[in-house]
Amino acid sequence: MPDSLSPATRAITIRDVATLAGVSVGTASKALNGRGKLRPETRERVTSAAEELGFRPNALARGLLSGRTFTVGLVTSDSFGRFSIPVMLGAEDALGAGQMSVFMCDTRDDPIRERHHIQTLLARRVDGLLVTGRRTEPRPSIGSDLPVPVVYAMTQSTSPDDLSVIPDDVGGGELAVRHLLATGRERIGHVAGPYRFLAARQRVAGMTKVLEEAGLPLAGGAPLHGEWSEEWGRQAADILLRAEPDTDAIFCGNDQIARGVAETVRERGRRIPDDVALIGFDNWEAMALASRPPLTTVDMSLGEVGRIAAEHLLAAIAGRPTSGGVETIPCQLVVRESTGPRRH
Amino acid sequence: MPDSLSPATRAITIRDVATLAGVSVGTASKALNGRGKLRPETRERVTSAAEELGFRPNALARGLLSGRTFTVGLVTSDSFGRFSIPVMLGAEDALGAGQMSVFMCDTRDDPIRERHHIQTLLARRVDGLLVTGRRTEPRPSIGSDLPVPVVYAMTQSTSPDDLSVIPDDVGGGELAVRHLLATGRERIGHVAGPYRFLAARQRVAGMTKVLEEAGLPLAGGAPLHGEWSEEWGRQAADILLRAEPDTDAIFCGNDQIARGVAETVRERGRRIPDDVALIGFDNWEAMALASRPPLTTVDMSLGEVGRIAAEHLLAAIAGRPTSGGVETIPCQLVVRESTGPRRH
DNA sequence: CTGAAAGCGCTAACAA
DNA sequence: TTGTTAGCGCTTTCAG
């Protein structure tokens, strides 16, 4: 029975190309890879034969031979969520430039699944692994004796031997408050995310540092910790404005909180930013732009986090490993209409 | 010089296992794969040798030999966006169950990049391709003579020979309006997304069908088309309520529009849902839950879309292809507080 | 029941 | 300059 119609036709091999060009496979290989000494005309014959047949070398065979597959595994515990996606895009960018393909695996926060995925990826002989997460909290290392380099992005390993790349939340907090100070605010409050989040605590730390340098107290005395939600923003704004009616700026733990705060501030008849300036965190555009007014916010440069992590991984794969430790990527201030000078 | 410390040590091969077990590689292979007839004791010796060495068969070698790699390529033009992600998760679910690993590629909407990614994936000998998008609009086929099966998810191919799986937007529109009718509404308006989106037009079609069946006119006479934004929702609600002050329900093209509509409705002193019921589309939880009140909405079951598409792909890979055409996946109504009976 | 050998598609030595 | 050969790690005949 003949190999029927279309989708089952055998793939083109270099032997087909060699035959069509009237040379041996070895010669064809050299011609296609620009190796060795060949008569230009021969090279040309092979090239066009390959072109004509639509030849694409079998990556499996190459990988088997060379020990390099030009693939990396991207293991995420964030179910491709809001934070890991920009990280992945940045990583894909850097890896794509290096001709690497990416295996994506979602662990659903399950250590068993994680181990299984890593085993599978190693069996596929990936050249390296990128581990991403949703939170910057330290997590257990995926292993210290793996046969390929590993870089953590948007999450950090508890092991100091591993390399982790995360956003600089402390710096982000500093950036936010410096901006508020620069626009003349002096009674600044802070509505934070849950205390159990490292990111929330670090943003507080950055803020505190800048306020202390400026010799200013925090409006309300202490940061208000709650959920990362608009609802919490609404509640907290109520609490804060009741306790400190002359608050003239509020730094919010994320954009959702900021949006909730904005609603309450407006409902209480204060103008933004004329009476109260507002700054968020994350630069989640769907939130920040739809808020009234659009939010000034801190962007964590997640694409950069992914890109840098991927570049470290590529370097390690190329035999130039970065030593272990945590690398933080600076945040960027994105100024919109919710901050500006006071107007009475 | 000895093979130094950890990360560069050669991977374990089946030959190592065979040697340790004191058998030939052929025997080891049979033992590990449960093939042929072996003395149980031999099988056991091999198994534990493999265990001891932490042997993982080289997937490249297997793929080279068998012609099956147990990988698929997932090509997205949505930059891992809000719509393609749930689709991918659903797909990964189905594929993972089939022991398939997934190569992720983002085309950034660039046909050149797309072709390049597909070539690369084919060179890697993926067993199949999944193409996803952000819009349900027909798009050019990625090719009719590819050596592997292809399924489109959350986007459709212009070619009737290709299989596409998309959400049933018409049905979603019907679902929404039927729910409004069931809660006793009779003056229903519609704030839609941009007319250039197929999804927007299909939701209108579903709505129209149900209203006609019920013999009711559309409040405002025609759907109001605009951007998929809160801002448009605010504007459109103003227009609609001015033109038809006794509107008692508004079906919105998506959750962002609904949220904008909600704000305006409240600002104009109407209660939701007592005076005006509101229903959104997408079930984007960050939006739908933060809206006041939380939005009843239509969920497109994107996870299902991805899962079903992946299952068709697996079936095709297994030699049982589904014939070409478009398969639509039903939407689900998610009832929250923005709809309910009228109360005067 | 087990071992030896061939071969998947490719590249790199070595011969011619 | 080109062809031949060996071998990457594995599975699968086919002998023993």
Instruction: Quick: pLDDT tens for A81-122.
Output: 889 899 999 999 999 888 999 999 999 899 999 999 999 999
Residue A28 has pLDDT above 70, yes or no: yes
Cβ-defined contact of B6 to A145 (cutoff 8 Å): yes
Cβ-defined contact of A103 to B101 (cutoff 8 Å): yes
Domain holding A28: CATH number?
A: 1.10.260.40
Please tell me whether residues A184 and A231 are part of one structural domain.
yes
DSSP H or E stretch at residue B190: strand B188-192
Q: What is the pLDDT of residue A79?
A: 77
Please tell me whether residues A124 and A234 are part of one structural domain.
no
The arithmetic mean of pLDDT across residues A61-78, rounded, is: 94
Residue A138 has pLDDT above 90, yes or no: yes
Band of pLDDT at residue A11, cut at 50, 70 and 90? confident
Please tell me whether residues A223 and A234 are part of one structural domain.
yes
In a domain, residue B344? The reply is no
Residue B147 has pLDDT above 50, yes or no: yes
Each residue's pLDDT tens digit, A308-344: 999 999 999 999 999 999 999 999 999 999 999 998 7
To the nearest whole percent, how much of chain B has pLDDT over 70? 97
Count of positions (residues) in chain B = 344
Domain count, chain A: 3
Instruction: Identify the domain boundary among B66, B81, B110.
Output: B66
Please tell me whether residues A162 and A212 are part of one structural domain.
no
Tokens 């002989």 belong to which residue?
A: A125
Q: B148 vs chain A: nearest CA distance in angstroms?
A: 6
The residues near B217 (Cβ < 8 Å, ≥ 6 apart) are B211
- Structure-derived torsion over alpha carbons of residues B286, B290, B292, B295, reported in degrees to the nearest 10: 30
Domain holding B187: CATH number?
A: 3.40.50.2300
In a domain, residue A261? The reply is yes
Residue B7 has pLDDT above 90, yes or no: no
| Token code pair at residue B191 | 């704030």
Q: What is the pLDDT of residue B238?
A: 98
Q: What is the pLDDT of residue B1?
A: 29
Q: Where are the beta strands (DSSP E) in A25-134?
A: 71-76, 101-106, 128-132
SS3 B264: helix
Query: Which nucleotides of strand D come closer than 7 angstroms to any CB of the protein?
Result: 1-5, 7-14
B35 reaches A (C-beta below 8 A): no
Residue A236 has pLDDT above 50, yes or no: yes
Please tell me whether residues B228 and B108 are part of one structural domain.
no
Please tell me whether residues A291 and A180 are part of one structural domain.
yes
For residue A300, report the phi and psi dihedrals to the nearest 5 degrees.
-85, 5
Q: What is the pLDDT of residue A2?
A: 31
Please tell me whether residues B173 and B122 are part of one structural domain.
no
Which residues 267-286 on chain B approach chain A with CB closer than 8 angstroms?
A: 286
Pick from B194, B181, B71: nearest CA to B130: B71
Pick from B229, B227, B256, B238: nearest CA to B189: B238
Please tell me whether residues B212 and B175 are part of one structural domain.
yes
The arithmetic mean of pLDDT across residues B53-73, rounded, is: 95
Q: What is the pLDDT of residue A303?
A: 97
Residue B2 has pLDDT above 70, yes or no: no
- Mutate: best of B9, B79, B104, partner A, most A CBs <10 A: B104
Cβ-defined contact of A125 to B59 (cutoff 8 Å): yes
Residue B222 has pLDDT above 50, yes or no: yes
Lowest mean pLDDT among A4-18, A228-242, B102-116, B328-342: A4-18
In a domain, residue A337? The reply is no
Compare A172 and A5 and report the one with higher pLDDT: A172
In a domain, residue A339? The reply is no
Please tell me whether residues B256 and B227 are part of one structural domain.
yes
Pick from B264, B316, B340: nearest CA to B72: B316
The arithmetic mean of pLDDT across residues B207-215, rounded, is: 98
In a domain, residue A277? The reply is yes
Please tell me whether residues B215 and B292 are part of one structural domain.
yes
Band of pLDDT at residue A4, cut at 50, 70 and 90? very low
Which ranges in B137-270 belong to alpha helices (H)? 169-182, 198-214, 230-243, 255-267
In a domain, residue A59? The reply is yes
Pick from A331, A328, A52, A339: nearest CA to A182: A339
How buried is residue B5: exposed, middle or buried, by Cβ count under 10 Å (0-12/13-18/19+)?
exposed
Burial B159-187 (b: 16+ CB within 10 A, else e): beebbbbbbbbbbbbbbbbbbbbebebeb
Band of pLDDT at residue B9, cut at 50, 70 and 90? low
In a domain, residue B204? The reply is yes
In a domain, residue A341? The reply is no
Please tell me whether residues B90 and B153 are part of one structural domain.
yes
| φ/ψ bin of A220: left (φ > 0), alpha (ψ from -120 to 50), beta (otherwise) | left
A148 reaches B (C-beta below 8 A): yes
Band of pLDDT at residue B145, cut at 50, 70 and 90? confident
Q: A184 vs chain B: nearest CA distance in angstroms?
A: 30
Cβ atoms of B295 and B288 closer than 8 Å: yes
Tokens 């069996």 belong to which residue?
A: A123
Please tell me whether residues A263 and A322 are part of one structural domain.
no
| Token code pair at residue B85 | 């992600």
The arithmetic mean of pLDDT across residues A39-67, rounded, is: 93
Cα A258 to chain centroid distance, Å, stands at 22
The residues near B26 (Cβ < 8 Å, ≥ 6 apart) are none
> Which residue range forms the structural domain that includes residue B177?
169-299
Residue B205 has pLDDT above 70, yes or no: yes
Pick from B89, B160, B162, B84: nearest CA to B129: B162
Q: What is the pLDDT of residue A9?
A: 62
| Token code pair at residue A334 | 């994105």
Q: What is the pLDDT of residue A204?
A: 98
Q: B129 pairs with which residues across the strands?
A: B73, B150
The residues near A7 (Cβ < 8 Å, ≥ 6 apart) are B145, B146, B147, B148, B149
- Mutate: best of A53, A101, A285, partner B, most B CBs <10 A: A101
